Chains A and B, each alone.
Chain A
Amino acid sequence: MAAEAHRVFVPRDTTARSMGADGVAAAIAAEAAGRGESVTVVRNGSRGLYWLEPMIEVECDGVRHAYGPVQSSDVAALFDAGFLAAGEHALGLGPTEEISYLARQSRLTFARVGITDPLSLDDYRAHGGYEGLARAVELSREEIIGIVTESGLRGRGGAAFPTGIKWRTVLNAEGAQKYVTCNADEGDSGTYADRMIMESDPFVVIEGMTIAGLAVGATMGYIYLRAEYPLAIRVMNDAIRTAEAAGLLGDDVMDSGRAFHLEVREAAGAYICGEETSMLESLEGKRGVIRYRPPLPAIKGLFGAPTIVNNVITLASVPIILAEGAEHYRDYGTGRSRGTLTVQLAGNIKQGGLVEIGFGHPLRELLEDFGGGTASGRPIRAVQAGGPLGAYVHPSQFDAPLDYEAFAEFGGMIGHGGLVVFDDTVDMGEQARFAMEFCAIESCGKCTPCRIGAVRGVEVIDRILSGDDEAGNLLLLRDLCDTMVAGSLCALGGMAPFPVISVLDHFPEDLRAR
């Protein structure tokens, strides 16, 4: 037999591919063939050090060494430098695990992401996969929910509702059929943790949903996945088929005698469908018009049945909680925010990427130590935290610790963990206007303050900026924001004014006649 092939890892995640990973993978294979080198190219997930993508790795004596960002045109020189033996090259980053951006993180939910081949069930199992489910099948429903409750896990979609309490409500609700739904309609700009884990470690989402199904007695699960993520849809579907073939989904999950089936449902580009009741309407094949609550989805959800609605990251955090125990997870974090937060650094940031870290680190540490400041090299003027409905955070607030309660104290929101950075060239008046414009485009139309208010909001801001009765219209804008916040049923109309109010409060010099 020939000498063992060198294993070279080239990520297949959307961002890596968007920066040229496919071309790099092809160039490595071609160059290796030309030089008679035996190379196996593994298409792994991304480590999430996105500013270094495409970041390739080579395995040498069991240690992975990274190079990046690599373009196809660099490949010949990498071979010349002996990168297959971890040779030195200008793009060399050293052993991957020692890169400080990665070494300083606490990768629990993202433990395998970037390390494994996303669609290899063997890889998944070899790295602790399905240990959580193996434990869950031995436990009673009450015991599973007890562990999830103990861990302190709260909904990572943004609302931060305690997961164990939600599950218990579904367990106790009357219903012959119950459902587990995964909200993968990650529409907030600046967030990509859901996409990343679905593309890079799909089995962990499947395992988490299966455990949820066992915990509440649900036999059917749906992943509501946005159409803007075509690769994630393909990967999740492939992974589901693999899990079915391995007896990990279906009528007899892991020989437990219990059934759990799973299906991906493709969304169709409506931001509002990330709101849980709107998502349920959409799953039922209808317009995504939000529902009045109560009844809660946990009592009357999908097709009127008791339904778990959880975000991707929430569900993906469950397997490790079951495998390692509630304490292991709860030991990370601070106050009432337990476990880890997946921060996503985005926008005008030098070192954009995914940072999974215990709650409680100051915002500034993420922006400066991890992020390295802006990509443009100019000062940071504002950070939008928590998506398009989140406030613009002013630099004077950057010492706030990243935990749900601390952010709420100054009117901010952690939401799904996205941080969008803007440098000092940003026009905050434009940003306030966009918040209203986006709400007008995406409103489901049910509540008048949202449907009409957002349109009027754009008009009022235009009048302010054009110098038409600035003082009167500024007053009117505050009043309008107040009406939308108080008079909308869901978070879209109820929170779209938050970025506007934050501009009024902290960047008033940009919202005036010009």
Chain B
Amino acid sequence: MSTKKAGSDTGVREALVSRIAGRHFGRPGGLLPALHAIQDELGHIPPEAVPTVASVFNISRAEVHGVISFYHLFRTTPPGRRTLYLCRAEACQAMGARALEKHTKQRLGIGFHETTADRRISLEPIYCLGNCACSPAVMIDDFVYGRVTPERLDALLEEG
């Protein structure tokens, strides 16, 4: 759908990635901050960013790919307009997270690591938001919600 746009933007995007990577190269252990910065800017780390980052950091593409793929919160595909992180960890399990997960997947018609067809919501699992005294918890983009019942989740999804 967006191939055309991506095609025409490729040069611009490469320059952007190169500039961001350049800002963090030289900082000790700068690769993670660079990857975060790229994802903050673009919403994801596109596969074509890998050779650019590798060349700026003077490491192999395999090393860059290896780092990206190791960490759960780096994504290589564009997210939907909003990202819903559903906590799957024990404290939330004790308060109905399994039922909430089932409800959410059914309602959105997608599984984890997927995005709705209208690109409104991406669904990701997360293991603990540190909101364990008010479980179950979800995070939408970077805002955490506590004691989320299926009804409350539906209301939150309607808002956006």
User: Which residue numbers of A lie inside 8 Å of B, CB to CB?
Assistant: 14-15, 17-19, 50-51, 53, 186-192, 194-196, 227-231, 265-271, 282-289, 303, 344-349, 352-354, 375, 384, 388, 418, 420-423, 426, 430-431, 434, 438, 441-442, 444
Residues on A with C-beta less than 8 A from B35 are 268
A232 smallest CB distance to B (angstroms):
8
Residues on B with C-beta less than 8 A from A19 are 134, 146-147
Docked CA distance A231–B142 (Å): 8
Docked CA distance A18–B143 (Å): 8
Contact pick for A229, options B90, B130, B134, CB 8 Å: B130
Residue of A nearest to B126 (CB): A228
Residue of B nearest to A19 (CB): B146
A491 smallest CB distance to B (angstroms):
16
Give B93-142 interface residues, CB cut-off 8 Å to A: 93-95, 98, 126-135, 137, 139, 142
The 11 sampled A-B contact pairs (Cβ below 8 Å) are: A187-B127, A190-B90, A190-B128, A192-B132, A269-B71, A285-B29, A285-B31, A344-B133, A346-B94, A352-B133, A430-B98
Residue of A nearest to B69 (CB): A287
Binary contact track B136-159/A, C-beta < 8 Å → 1, others 0:
010100111111000000000000
Contact pick for B90, options A268, A270, A384, CB 8 Å: A384
Residues on B with C-beta less than 8 A from A286 are 29, 31, 63, 67
Contact A388 B133 (CB under 8 A): no
Would A287 and B66 be within 8 Å (CB), given that A227-B73, A438-B127 are in contact? yes
Contact pick for B127, options A265, A271, A421, A444, CB 8 Å: A271
Residues on B with C-beta less than 8 A from A421 are 94
Would A228 and B130 be within 8 Å (CB), given that A265-B32, A287-B70, A375-B95 are in contact? yes
Would A265 and B93 be within 8 Å (CB), given that A51-B133, A228-B126 are in contact? no
Majority SS at the chain A contact face: mixed
Contact B95 A348 (CB under 8 A): yes
Cβ-based interface call for B72 (8 A): yes
Residues on A with C-beta less than 8 A from B73 are 227-228, 268-269
Query: With contacts A228-B139, A269-B73, A438-B127 known, what are 18 further pairs, Cβ within 8 A?
Result: A15-B144, A15-B146, A18-B131, A50-B134, A53-B134, A189-B128, A231-B142, A268-B36, A268-B71, A269-B72, A285-B32, A344-B133, A347-B132, A348-B135, A352-B134, A431-B90, A431-B93, A444-B70
Contact B132 A187 (CB under 8 A): no
Residues on A with C-beta less than 8 A from B29 are 265, 283-286, 303
Contact A186 B130 (CB under 8 A): yes
Contact A15 B131 (CB under 8 A): yes
Contact A15 B70 (CB under 8 A): no
Residues on B with C-beta less than 8 A from A442 are 127
Residues on A with C-beta less than 8 A from B49 are none
Docked CA distance A14–B63 (Å): 35
Contact A18 B92 (CB under 8 A): no
Docked CA distance A353–B66 (Å): 39
Residues on B with C-beta less than 8 A from A346 are 91, 94, 132-133, 135
Contact B133 A349 (CB under 8 A): yes
Ranked nearest first, the 10 interchain pairs of A and B with the lowest CB-CB distance are A352-B133, A269-B73, A285-B31, A189-B89, A268-B71, A347-B94, A346-B132, A50-B133, A18-B146, A269-B72
Cβ-based interface call for B33 (8 A): yes
Cβ-based interface call for B78 (8 A): no
